[in-house]
Amino acid sequence: MQTSFIRKIIFDEKSRALLIQTLVIGLFAVFIYLIAQQTSYNLEKRGISTGFDFLNIAAGYDISIRLIPFSSEDTHLRAYFVGLLNTLMIAVCGCILATILGFLVGIIRLSSNWLFRNIAYVYVEFTRNVPVLLQIILYYSILLNLPKIKQAFVIFDTFYLTNRGLFSPSPIFKEGFSLVFWSFIFAIVFSILLKRFLKKKQEQTGKQYPIFFINSAIIIFTPILFFYIMGMPLEFDSPVLKGFNFKGGMVIRPEFLGMLFGLSIYTAAFISETVRSGIISVSKGQREASQALGLKSSFVMRLIVIPQALRVIIPPLTSQYLNLTKNSSLGIAIGYADLVHGFGGISLNQTGRAIEIMLIVMLTYLSISLTISLFMNIYNKSVQFKGNA
Amino acid sequence: MSVITQNLSRNKYFNWTVKNLFSSWVNTIMTIIAIIFVYEIGSFFLNWSIFSADFRTNFQGELITDRILCSKNIVPGEYGACWAIIYVRWDQFMYGLYPVEETWRVNLTYALLPFAIIGILFDKLPFRKIFIYFTFIFPFIAYFLLYGGPGLSTVGTNKWGGLLVTLFLGVTGIGLAFPLSILLALGRRSKMPIIKSLCIVFIEFIRGVPLITLLFTANVMLPLFLPDGVNPDNLLRALVAVTLFQSAYMAEAIRGGLQAIPKGHIEAAEALGLTYWQTTRKIILPQALKIAIPPIVNTCIGLFKDTSLVLIIGLFDLLGIGRAALADMTWTKLYYEVYVFISLVFFIFCFGMSRYSLYLEKKLKTDNS
């Protein structure tokens, strides 16, 4: 009786699986329990208090790069949001720049010109084989070595490039500008609807419409029209040199620029590789067949090659976006006030609530990652094969 | 005239040039632009790094011991790089603060490292078995040599630095993560729901957060988790974070290999009466790992680059040593020399690994067809 019971546990697949899993769960629970107990003991011994009440205490430090107002009297919670916004800002700007640069380099990598091809190849190999942190620090050092305020590089008489950042005119929105903005949104929505309508019509009648040109015209000219109707409600405040610094305008700090260059130049090298392999993956027959059908070469690219290449490009592109977002946490090395530097660094040192703060920071990054992959998955589904092909 | 063109069109170099550089007007213009670009950048860089650069001595022939003695500081705006900082700091770049009279131990470890790795990299190596045995005893030799033991004085890890820390974290992190990642990948494909979900949560959590948060957590919180007597030093804490991080990424690479194995292999093995572990060890893993090696190498390149992050938690890896050198008042402002040198070191390792991965991909392609 007993031996058969043991035999059953060892040799029957189902009961063995149950046994193993119970063991694993048990060990895991014991492990967690031991750590929790040890941690609470250690915390008590060192006199570290726990809890999330610190979020409402004044932070007591200043953050120079911020999208929302912040002073040292504001709470740690607000410092968290300042850091989060900075992280998102660098991630979004970096992704956009990296995508543009990456697609450009990826296409150059396939150029028929041997020299162009190989210049792009050298760029890719040299940027992706050097740590991104090193590149960020290097670009930041270059930016800090730019001329001083007095000898600023002047670009188009409006931008001033100095070792304290890029000074540029800041826009002042006057009354009525919101209408221009809303007209722009409206134009985009309208053009999407129009595209659907014209596509349907094309399928019914077979007649082609220049959808792209019509929509571009709508999106560009509607806001311009409203801009003039409202009496040009936009002015620029230009930076003027006064004493030792610029007055007015706005400044893009070298920390931000260093991060932006470092992240996007590094990630662009990876994106260019995915773009290249995506375009190569479209078989030659597809191209030849569409040429044989008499399609213009621009149509071959837009209607045949790119839609199929996107299927291959999107999944690795998503992981590159995720990497860029995670790498934006390296701002701490050059003092870019992102989530890890401000909230995860200074707040942690001031309050000593390591567990809580690291938990919040990690969960934030997790949710950013999940959001990006969610949106990219939706987009990915929209470009995948439809039907059971 | 026509004879000349005929002869030329038979020349394959001429044909290649025409086809790749001058096939059309646009192409010709592009070629000219590219040549100018390459010439400008190349001549600038060569001039800066070699022809106008100081190496150990400046242009007056004096040994450079201070930034002020660099030629470019004597005659500003005329000379290039000042590589003397690399010479002066060479020991720190290679060994950190390792005692000078003991550095032969590090050198010996560096020299033995290729022999420990070569057996894994090339499967048709003569005497491969002996090399593989050496791979398994190498960690103990390295520990004995680097840290010390009977007969050798102890050198604490707080004295380690530079390339030693970079290589230590890279190689040990990869070595420890490998078995862990196989277990994680198998667990993720297991039929047992609890084990599967534990593995998924672990992998996705690690992959969803930046390495720097893991390093912070290990640095600040590991001492809180552990009992009083156990207090791992900074390097060990970083190693824990790096290993966990790498194992999650490697597990995903291995999972890709596991998915590529046709189901028929598993069914056939089961039909033969092999147990799960027999099937896994003899049928699935040998095939899956072979397919997965190129992506695994790619994650290793990523990890090797990411070891530079440990400077943020106060360890002195290659980049950390470089920054420390620049903070020294006698050498400050030589950013480009230091960063270009460190980039070159990383480039050599990472480019080497990526070439190896490419070589494997090509080999696998011919193996399978």
Inter-chain CB proximity B301 and A130 less than 8 Å = no
CA angle B183, B188, B189 (to 5 degrees): 100
Asked if A388 reaches chain B (Cβ–Cβ under 8 Å), the answer is: no
Task: Determine phi and psi for B151, rounding to 5 degrees.
Answer: 95, -20
Q: How far apart are CA B181 and CA B246, in angstroms?
A: 8
- Asked whether residue B173 falls in the same domain as residue B300, the answer is yes
Is B145 a domain residue?
A: no
Same domain, B187 and B307: yes
Distance CA A229, CA A225 (A): 6
CB contact under 8 A, B319 and A329: no
Model confidence at B201: pLDDT above 80: yes
Per CATH, is A76-149+253-383 categorized as 3.60.21.10? no
Count of CB atoms within 10 A of residue B290's CB? Answer: 17
CA distance linking residue A211 with residue A56, whole number of Å: 53
User: What are the chain A neighbours of B223 within 8 Å (beta carbons)?
Assistant: 42
Higher pLDDT, B22 or B351: B351
Taking CA–CA distances from A328, the nearest residue in chain B reads: B210
Q: d(Cα A69, Cα A81) in Å, to the nearest integer?
A: 11
CB contact under 8 A, B224 and A112: no
pLDDT, position A388: 46
Which of A18, A129, A363 is the mutation pick for testing B, counting most B CBs within 10 A? Answer: A129
Where are the domains positioned within chain A? 14-42, 76-149+253-383
Reply yes or no on whether the pLDDT at A1 is more than 60: no
pLDDT at B250 over 90: yes
- Per-residue pLDDT band for A111 (boundaries 50, 70, 90) equals confident
Per-residue model confidence (pLDDT) at position A387 = 53
Q: Binning pLDDT at 50, 70 and 90, where does residue A92 land?
A: very high
When divided into structural domains, chain B yields a total of: 2
3-state helix, strand, coil in chain A (%, to 5): 70, 10, 20
CB A54 within 8 A of CB A351: yes
pLDDT of A140: 92
B329-348, pLDDT tens digit by residue?
Answer: 888 788 888 999 999 999 99
Mean pLDDT, all residues of chain B: 86
Q: Which residue of B has its CA nearest to A131?
A: B305
Domain-located, residue B47: yes
Classify residue B177: in a domain, yes or no.
yes
As a whole number of angstroms, the distance between CA A274 and CA A268 comes to 10
**A184-239 pLDDT, tens per residue?**
888 888 888 888 888 888 888 877 777 777 888 888 888 788 777 777 667 777 77
Domain range spanning residue B35? 2-51
SS3 of B231-280: CCCHHHHHHHHHHHHHHHHHHHHHHHHHHCCCHHHHHHHHHCCCCHHHHH
Tens-digit pLDDT profile for residues A30-84 = 988 988 888 888 888 777 777 777 777 777 777 777 777 777 777 888 888 888 9
E strand or H helix at A173:
strand A170-173
Judging by beta carbons within 10 Å of its beta carbon (0-12, 13-18, 19+), is residue B24 exposed, middle or buried?
Answer: exposed
CB-CB contact of A115 with B35 (8 Å)? yes
Is the pLDDT confidence value at A154 over 80? no
- Enumerate residues 331 to 350 of chain A having a beta carbon within 8 A of any beta carbon in chain B: 332-333, 340, 344, 348
Alpha carbon A171 to its chain centroid, in Å, reads 24
- Helix, strand, coil in percent for chain B, rounding step 5: 75, 5, 20
Residues 31-50 of A with CB under 8 A from B: 35, 38-39, 42-43
Helix (H) or strand (E) holding A167: strand A165-168
Task: Give the pLDDT score at B23.
Answer: 76
| B302 within domain boundaries | yes
For the segment A166-179, what is each residue's pLDDT rounded down to a tens digit? 887 777 777 777 77
Environment class of B246 (CB within 10 Å of its CB; exposed 0-12, middle 13-18, buried 19+): buried
A138 touches chain B (CB under 8 A): yes
A82 and A66 Cβ atoms separated by less than 8 Å:
yes
Q: Which of B92, B54, B155 is nearest to B319 (CA)?
A: B92
Average pLDDT, chain A: 83
A361 touches chain B (CB under 8 A): yes
Query: How many whole angstroms separate alpha carbon A96 and alpha carbon A81?
Result: 22
For residues A293 and A66, give the distance between their C-alpha atoms in angstroms, rounded to a whole number: 55
Interchain pair B308, A133: CB under 8 A: yes
Asked whether residue B20 falls in the same domain as residue B94, the answer is no
Question: β-strands A165-168, A159-162: how paired?
Answer: antiparallel
Sequence-separated (6 or more) residues with CB below 8 Å from residue A184: A219, A222, A223
Q: Span A380-385, mean pLDDT? A: 75
CA-nearest of B338, B345, B305 to B322 is: B338
pLDDT band at B179 (very low <50, low <70, confident <90, very high): very high
The CATH number given to whatever domain includes residue B251 is: 1.10.3720.10
Tally of CB atoms within 10 A around A341: 25
The secondary element (H helix, E strand) that includes residue A371 is: helix A354-383
CA distance B344 to B348: 6
Write the CA distances from B224 to A39, A43, A218, B206, integer angstroms: 5, 7, 61, 20
Strand A250-252 vs strand A165-168: parallel, antiparallel, or unpaired?
Answer: antiparallel
CA torsion angle B15 B17 B23 B25 (round to 10): -140
**Digit-coded pLDDT (tens) for A285-323:** 888 898 898 888 778 888 888 888 888 888 888 889 999
Across A334-342, average pLDDT: 85
Per-position DSSP letters for B84-103, written without gaps between them? HHHHHTHHHHHHBT--GGGH
- CA of B168: how far to CAs of B162, B236, B347, in Å? 10, 10, 17
Per-residue pLDDT for B143 more than 80?
Answer: yes
Q: Spell out which residues of chain B touch residue A332, defining contact as CB-CB under 8 Å.
A: 212, 312
**Range in A31-40, A85-94, A102-111 the model is least confident about:** A31-40
Nearest to B179 by CA among B126, B240, B234, B246: B246
pLDDT at site A39:
82
Confidence of residue B4 (pLDDT cuts 50, 70, 90): low
B interface mutation test: which of A134, A270, A320 has the most B CBs within 10 A? A134
Give pLDDT tens digits for A253-268.
888 999 999 999 999 9
Statement to judge: residues B174 and B39 lie in one domain: no
Query: Is the pLDDT score of B176 beyond 50?
Result: yes
**C-alpha B333 chain-centroid distance:** 27
How far apart (Å, rounded) are the C-alpha atoms in residues B118 and B111? 12
Quote the minimal CA–CA distance from B316 to chain A in Å: 14
Same-domain check for residues B211 and B160? yes
Give mean pLDDT, residues A102-130: 90
Residues 83-122 of A with CB under 8 A from B: 111-116, 119
Q: Say yes or no to pLDDT of B239 above 90.
A: yes
Q: Is B176 helix (H, G, I), strand (E, B) or coil?
A: helix
- The confidence score (pLDDT) of residue B369 equals 45
Contacts B335 to A, Cβ<8 Å = 138, 141-142, 145
Pairwise CB contact (< 8 Å): A129 & B350? yes
Q: Is A44 exposed, middle or buried (0-12, 13-18, 19+ CB in 10 A)?
A: exposed
ipTM: 0.88
Contacts of A361 in chain B (CB under 8 A): 213
Contact A40, A51 (CB under 8 A): no
Q: Tokens at residue A50, please? A: 């726990």
**8 Å CB contact of B216 and A340:** yes
d(CA B339, CA B334): 9
Q: Write the pLDDT tens digit of every residue in B265-314.
A: 888 988 998 888 888 888 888 888 888 888 899 999 999 999 999 998 88
Cα separation, B92 vs B258, in Å, equals 43
Best CA proximity match to B315, nearest among B240, B244, B243, B236: B236
Task: Kindly give, in sequence order, each residue whose CB lies less than 8 Å from that of residue A56, ignoring residues fewer than 6 positions away.
Answer: A75, A76, A77
Q: How far is B190 from chain A (nearest CA, A)?
A: 10
Residue B190 placed within a domain: yes
pLDDT number for residue A386: 63
Within a domain: B315? yes
Of B209, B213, B339, the CB nearest to A137: B339
